[in-house]
Structure 1
Amino acid sequence: MGKTIDVMSLYPKDMNIYGDSGNVLTIRRRLELYGYEPVIHQYNQGDDWPDHVDLILGGGGQDSGQGKIIDDFFRRADLIRGLAFHGTPMLMICGMYQLFGEYFETAEGSRLEGIGVIGAYTVGRNVRMIGNLVEHSDDFGDIIGYENHSGQTFLRESTTPLGTVDVEGRGNNGKDYTEGARVFNVIGTYMHGSLLPKNPLIADFLIRNAVERRYGALNDGRLATDDQTPEQAAELDRIDTVAEQARKVAAARPR
């Protein structure tokens, strides 16, 4: 049996309306093809927290979905903050990205507190930012996805964006040309798609940090284990080729 990696899908019942479960499928499949044994934990409100978590994925949801999970989310806030601060890799999409910030203020003026992992706050607006999006990142190259949000997120001065966009009316708030945020090994972003199938560099960033935190530095920096078979290596190459083709198609689509 290969080395186990425990992956948590956070609130998939209420925070998965844009197909963000595809991120979980991508992480699981890439782990398998690298020769690891992924264990997927689906955590919903009221569930027991698993004994071990190496990587956490959270998806998007409506304001009503955020309201459903918020009590349980704050019950787990100290635990999640501790994992984040100690380097557990996490990918938080849209609604979960907002809740990882300081607060979300709706267009009507009500305020939903976040857990403060990411130095950012969100203000609701009546105009949505929606459409295909290509952003630029020094670490991940061009990131390809689809944004759909009315909340405008503003990063604190000390917070690093995930990437930058080329024109106004897109990204975190449509004004400062930033999109997403990074802190520790946590990534927050408005990019759906699902994001990870078309952006394997981000998937492997999450996997690498999960593996190294649990098992130590990788031999020669290679993610593949000694258990990886030639067939698995070939399938991983095929998936990456398909991802590159999909990236080109998606990047050429109109807004």
Structure 2
Amino acid sequence: MNESTLRIGVLMPEVLGTYGDSGNAVVLAHRAKLLGYQSEIVHVSCTDAIPQTLDIYTLGGGEDIAQTIASRRLLTDRGLEHAVQNGKPVLAICAAFQVLGTWYTDAEGKRTEGAGLLDVVTLPQGARAIGELVSSASGLQLERELTEPLTGFENHGGATLLGRDALPLGFVTYGVGNGQPGVAPGLAEGVSAQAGVQQGREVSREIPDGYRATEDGKAVEGCVQGSIIATYMHGPCLARNPQLADLLLARAIGATLPLAVPEIPGLQRLRQERLAAIK
């Protein structure tokens, strides 16, 4: 990395850009500018080779078909894997959270192999999680860096379970978060699991061995593993959570927190507005 220039990657935005998550790179670039760093946002399409030498990588949300395209791309191009091995910070949102895992099951019940960069698996919830989401990192790995609540908007049908190597990003204080496995696709709402079996449909209720949906009996959100931070929070996430943005920047530039980013007008009002919306 040039001493004063950051290269911020947006991977596969044509398939992982449904919810405006590319805005996370814009937030990082703006906060870097306030710190005196020049930055370049690098859009890496599905047909481009994934560079190993970017300073920060961001991936967003997408639909089932888009996820499949992204998964296949990450399995054939290991550029992101090499970047993770080199400790480059990665932010994965929603579908990207699932795609970076070991495998995920889509709304049709089809299991797809993931990139294997996160020790997580995803199954259908049975009901879609839509709405405001708030979590707290208190008591978890990043509690010193993330002292304020994390907020975002969740919209996902999958329940992501954490394996041994994956730690929660936060405990859910409002919303669903990573969720719990529910009945398999094809069951009408309100139909029992046993009735589903009698109808000849498989039911996805059991948590696979070695994975967990909760931590200390509490609902969790997101995942932290190595240099990767994953979450279901849209917003864009970093526009609503400046501490998380600064954590990624600090890791990229080798700085300690807190970063001396000047106050951005309206930012705290946005956070207060979103937190007040859940009350």
Superposition TM-score, scaled by structure 2 size: 0.78
Higher helix share: 1
Contact 1:107–1:125 (8 Å) recurs in 2 = no
1:80 corresponds in structure 2 to: 80
Amino acid at match of 2:93: I
Rounded to whole Å, the distance in 2 between the matches of 1:155 and 1:246 is 31
- TM-aligned CA deviation for residue 68 of structure 1: 2.6
1:103 corresponds in structure 2 to: 103
Give the alignment partner of residue 251 of structure 2, picking from 199, 203, 209. 209
- After TM superposition, the structure 1 = structure 2 runs for residues 147-162 of structure 1, keeping only pairs within 5 Å, are 147-162=154-169
Structure 1: gaps of 5 or more residues: 213-217, 225-232
CA deviations on 1:72-111 (whole Å, 9 max, x unpaired) are: 22122x3322211321101000011101111001243311
Rounded to whole Å, the distance in 1 between the matches of 2:275 and 2:227 is 26
Contact 1:106–1:125 (8 Å) recurs in 2 = no
Q: Would you say 1:254 and 2:278 are equivalent positions?
A: yes
- TM-aligned CA deviation for residue 223 of structure 1: 4.4
Contact 1:2–1:35 (8 Å) recurs in 2 = no
Amino acid at match of 2:237: L
1:64 corresponds in structure 2 to: 65
- TM-aligned CA deviation for residue 52 of structure 1: 2.8
1:118 corresponds in structure 2 to: 118
Give the alignment partner of residue 241 of structure 2, picking from 199, 215, 220. 199
- TM-aligned CA deviation for residue 184 of structure 1: 1.3
Contact 1:2–1:37 (8 Å) recurs in 2 = no
Amino acid at match of 1:117: L
- TM-aligned CA deviation for residue 38 of structure 1: 0.5
- Runs (4+) of structure 1 exceeding 3 A deviation are 48-51, 220-224
Structure 2: gaps of 5 or more residues: 138-142, 181-212
1:29 is paired with a residue of what secondary structure? Answer: helix
CA deviations on 1:101-154 (whole Å, 9 max, x unpaired) are: 110012433111111111110012341011011110123131011111001100
2:266 is paired with a residue of what secondary structure? Answer: helix
Contact 1:161–1:178 (8 Å) recurs in 2 = yes
- After TM superposition, the structure 1 = structure 2 runs for residues 1-255 of structure 1, keeping only pairs within 5 Å, are 3-50=4-51, 52-76=53-77, 78-137=78-137, 138=143, 139-140=145-146, 141-166=148-173, 170-174=176-180, 176=214, 177-212=219-254, 218=255, 223=259, 236-237=262-263, 239=264, 241-254=265-278
Contact 1:181–1:188 (8 Å) recurs in 2 = yes
CA deviations on 1:208-237 (whole Å, 9 max, x unpaired) are: 11111xxxxx4x86746xxxxxxxx6xx31
- TM-aligned CA deviation for residue 170 of structure 1: 0.6
2:66 is paired with a residue of what secondary structure? Answer: helix
Amino acid at match of 1:253: A
Count of equivalent residues = 235
Change over 3 Å in CA distance of 1:120–1:51 after alignment to 2: closer
- TM-aligned CA deviation for residue 162 of structure 1: 0.4
Rounded to whole Å, the distance in 2 between the matches of 1:51 and 1:145 is 29
Amino acid at match of 1:55: I
Rounded to whole Å, the distance in 2 between the matches of 1:52 and 1:25 is 19
Contact 2:26–2:41 (8 Å) recurs in 1 = no
Rounded to whole Å, the distance in 1 between the matches of 2:113 and 2:272 is 38
Of structures 1 and 2, the larger Rg is shown by 2
Amino acid at match of 1:243: L
Change over 3 Å in CA distance of 1:210–1:164 after alignment to 2: same
Rounded to whole Å, the distance in 1 between the matches of 2:245 and 2:173 is 24
CA deviations on 1:186-218 (whole Å, 9 max, x unpaired) are: 101000011101111100110111111xxxxx4
Rounded to whole Å, the distance in 2 between the matches of 1:153 and 1:63 is 15
Amino acid at match of 2:109: G
Superposition TM-score, scaled by structure 1 size: 0.85
